[in-house]
A and B are shown apart, each in its own frame.
Chain A
Amino acid sequence: MDLRPTEEQQSLVEVLHDFAASEVRRAARACEEAGEVAGALRAALVEIGVSTGVAEAFGGQGTFDAVTGLMIAEELAWGDPGVAYSVLAPGVVASVLQRAATPEQQADLLPGLAAGGRAALALTEREAGADIFRMDTTADTGRLHGVKYAVPDPGPAGSLIVVAEGPSIWRVVTGAWAEAVAEDKLGLRSARTLKLGLDGMGAEEIGTGTDDVVAALLAAKLVTAGIALGLARAAVEYAAAYASERTAFGRPIGAFQGISFMIADRATDLDAARLLCWEAGWALDAARPGADRLVMAACGQAVAAAVAASDDAVQVLGGHGYMRDHPVELWYRDAMTLATLDAPWLIGDLFLAGRYQAGGLP
Chain B
Amino acid sequence: MIDFALDDRMEALREFLHGFAVDELRPRARAADVSGTVEPEVIARLGEMAGDRAAIVPSLRSDEGHDGPRSDGMVAVVGGEELAWGDAAMILNIPGPGLVGPSISSAGTPDQQRRFLAEIFDGAGPRFGALAVTEAQAGSDVSNLRTTAVRDGDEWVLNGTKVFCTNGARADVLVVNATIDPGAGRSGQRLFVVLKGTPGMAVGRIERKLGLTASETAELVFDGCRIPFDHIVGGEEALRPASGFKATLRAFDASRPGVAAMAIGIGRAAFDYVTEWSRTEIPRHARRRPFVEARLAATERDLAAARGLARRAAWMADNRIPNSKEASMAKASGPRAALRACVSAIEIMGPEGYSREHLVEKWFRDIKVYDIFEGTGQIQRVVIGRHILGRLD
Contacts and interface: CB of A to CB of B under 8 A. Distances in A.
Contacts of B348: 343, 346
Contact of A319 (B134, B143, B284, B347): B134
Interface string A265-276: 000000000000
B210 A339 contact: no
Contacts of B347: 339-340, 343, 345-346
Nearest to A134: B285
A332 B368 contact: yes
A264 interface: no
A129 B209 contact: no
B177 to A, nearest CB: 15
Nearest to B294: A345
A72 to B, nearest CB: 24
A185 B143 CA distance: 41
A317 to B, nearest CB: 9
A120 B357 CA distance: 24
A249 B141 CA distance: 6
Contacts of B361: 185-186, 336
A324 interface: yes
A333 B209 CA distance: 12
Interface residues of A, number: 46
Contacts of A207: none
A184 B140 contact: no
Contacts of B211: 322
B371 A315 contact: yes
Contact of A186 (B291, B350, B354): B354
Nearest to A250: B141
Contacts of A311: 339, 368
Nearest to B134: A319
B349 A340 contact: yes
B351 A124 contact: yes
Contact of B139 (A128, A318, A339, A341): A318
B182 to A, nearest CB: 16
A350 interface: yes
A149 interface: yes
Contact of A346 (B139, B144, B163, B291): B291
Interface string A227-264: 00000000000000000000111000000101100000
B376 interface: yes
A187 interface: yes
A126 B339 contact: no
Contacts of A248: 138-141, 144
B355 A258 contact: no
A285 interface: no
Nearest to B211: A322
A183 B358 CA distance: 12
14 contacts: A127-B350, A134-B285, A136-B284, A183-B354, A248-B140, A319-B373, A336-B343, A337-B354, A339-B346, A346-B288, A346-B348, A346-B350, A350-B287, A350-B291
6 smallest beta-carbon distances between A and B, as pairs: A149-B351, A343-B347, A329-B210, A186-B361, A248-B141, A258-B378
Given A314-B372, A322-B209, A329-B209, 8 more contacts: A185-B361, A258-B382, A318-B139, A322-B211, A332-B210, A340-B346, A343-B350, A350-B288
